[in-house]
């Protein structure tokens, strides 16, 4: 009978050592099959005399039952931990990604554009937009830049291979939006037109081949150069602070007469050129079906990226498009 105990404790040890369901199931024939030691022992009961047989039978049953219970218990435990492991391994993380403390923000140029729009909306203007691919009429002709005009050359235009040569282009300034607006809208007109423009420039610290301008256009009655100067002064102060001075300097643009460049003076006392402006040329008003004897207008245009450089004191325009997060997150 003590050999039954030995068989049982040997079986229990094997069960305990099985480190997985498969390993445990592989033990089943050896523990309970036809040739298993406990099965063999049962067969040999028949050789005992009846008295001994009863006692030995009970002991053998008890031993076998003990092994069966241990087997099932172990199997249950192994199944449970296998399931836990699988759940852990296959778990899908459906929690929202909150990342670091910084959720990101608008690009420095977008911030500058938004601020400019806000200022002009506050002055009663609306925001107008136009296509980035333009025809020669909108980009040049209606702006009093006919085909033979030297100013065409100064725009370093990127042409699109479509239609007649040099007929379709990426707009080289936002001034075409003036034309589109005047063609479609009766005066009085008070608009700003921000947007991306293109030129054949190679990227360097002060140039990008794709950059952003904002155009302003006013067409109303009795509009004078004084209104233009006052408007420029007003928005520059709203944007950069009351200490900033502005001035107009004589210049030339085909679509304005007279024309000027406008400069701003920073706290260090030096003058910086910001953009161009002038009184809308009668030719351009007429080209858009507006009678220059009744209506006058002024217009201005400048680079938003360059303004962002001044506003945020950066020193290389290329930083705006490099997508270096260390640069971008400073602003």
Q: Where on the chain is the footprint of ligand DAH (CB under 6 A)? A: 173, 175, 215, 253, 256, 275-278, 299-301
Distance CA 246, CA 272 (A): 9
Of 290, 265, 261, 291, residue with least CA distance to 276: 261
**Strand 210-220's sheet: what is its strand order?**
126-127, 189-198, 210-220, 296-303, 271-280, 256-265, 245-253
Helices 225-240/108-122 angle, 10° precision: 130
Least distance (Å) from ligand DAH to the CB of residue 239?
18
Least distance (Å) from ligand DAH to the CB of residue 309?
17
Least distance (Å) from ligand DAH to the CB of residue 293?
21
Smaller CB distance to ligand DAH: residue 15 or 213? 213
The answer to whether the beta carbons of residues 190 and 124 sit under 8 Å apart is yes
Least distance (Å) from ligand DAH to the CB of residue 173?
3
Strand partners, 253: 256
Least distance (Å) from ligand DAH to the CB of residue 170?
13
CA neighbours closer than 13 Å in the CB half-sphere of residue 110:
5
Smaller CB distance to ligand DAH: residue 231 or 314? 231
CA neighbours closer than 13 Å in the CB half-sphere of residue 51:
0
Smaller CB distance to ligand DAH: residue 195 or 301? 301
Smaller CB distance to ligand DAH: residue 24 or 296? 296
Least distance (Å) from ligand DAH to the CB of residue 187?
16
**Could you say which DSSP state residue 245 is in?**
E
Distance CA 178, CA 193 (A): 8
Strand partners, 191: 126, 217
Smaller CB distance to ligand DAH: residue 36 or 287? 287
Smaller CB distance to ligand DAH: residue 24 or 263? 263
Strand partners, 303: 213
Smaller CB distance to ligand DAH: residue 125 or 300? 300
Least distance (Å) from ligand DAH to the CB of residue 207?
13
Least distance (Å) from ligand DAH to the CB of residue 143?
8
DSSP per-residue string spanning 154-171: HT--EEESSSSTTSEEE-
Distance CA 133, CA 224 (A): 32
Dihedral (CA of 282, 286, 292, 298) sign: negative
The answer to whether the beta carbons of residues 29 and 36 sit under 8 Å apart is yes
Smaller CB distance to ligand DAH: residue 195 or 278? 278
Distance CA 144, CA 85 (A): 76
């Amino acid at each position: 009978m003590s050999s039954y105990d030995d068989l049982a404790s040997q079986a229990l040890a094997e069960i305990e050592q099985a480190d997985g369901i498969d390993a445990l199931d592989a033990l089943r024939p050896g523990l309970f099959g036809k040739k298993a030691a406990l099965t063999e022992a049962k067969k040999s009961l028949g050789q005992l005399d009846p008295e001994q047989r009863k006692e030995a039978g009970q002991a053998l049953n008890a031993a076998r039952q003990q092994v069966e219970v241990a087997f099932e218990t172990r199997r249950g435990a192994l199944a449970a931990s296998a399931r836990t492991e699988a759940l852990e391994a296959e778990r899908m993380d459906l929690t929202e990604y909150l990342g670091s403390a910084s959720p990101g923000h608008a690009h420095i140029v977008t911030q500058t554009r938004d601020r400019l729009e806000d200022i002009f909306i506050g002055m009663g203007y609306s925001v107008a937009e136009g296509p980035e691919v333009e025809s020669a009429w909108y980009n040049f002709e209606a702006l009093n830049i006919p085909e033979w005009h030297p100013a065409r050359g100064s725009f370093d235009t990127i042409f699109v291979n479509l239609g007649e040569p040099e007929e379709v282009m990426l707009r080289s300034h936002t001034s075409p939006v003036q034309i589109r607006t005047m063609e479609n809208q009766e005066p009085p007109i008070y608009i700003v037109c921000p947007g991306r423009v293109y030129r054949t420039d190679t990227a360097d610290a002060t140039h990008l081949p794709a950059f952003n301008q904002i155009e302003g256009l006013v067409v109303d009655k009795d509009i004078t150069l004084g209104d233009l100067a006052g408007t420029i002064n007003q928005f520059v102060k709203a944007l950069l602070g009351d200490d900033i001075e502005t001035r107009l300097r004589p210049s030339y643009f085909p679509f304005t007469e007279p024309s000027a460049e406008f400069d701003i003076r920073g706290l260090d006392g030096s003058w910086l050129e910001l953009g161009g402006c002038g009184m809308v040329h009668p030719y351009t008003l007429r080209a858009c079906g507006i009678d220059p004897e009744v209506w006058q207008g002024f217009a201005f245009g400048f680079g938003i990226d360059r303004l962002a450089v001044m506003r945020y004191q950066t020193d290389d325009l290329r930083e705006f498009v490099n997508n270096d997060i260390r640069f971008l997150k400073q602003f």
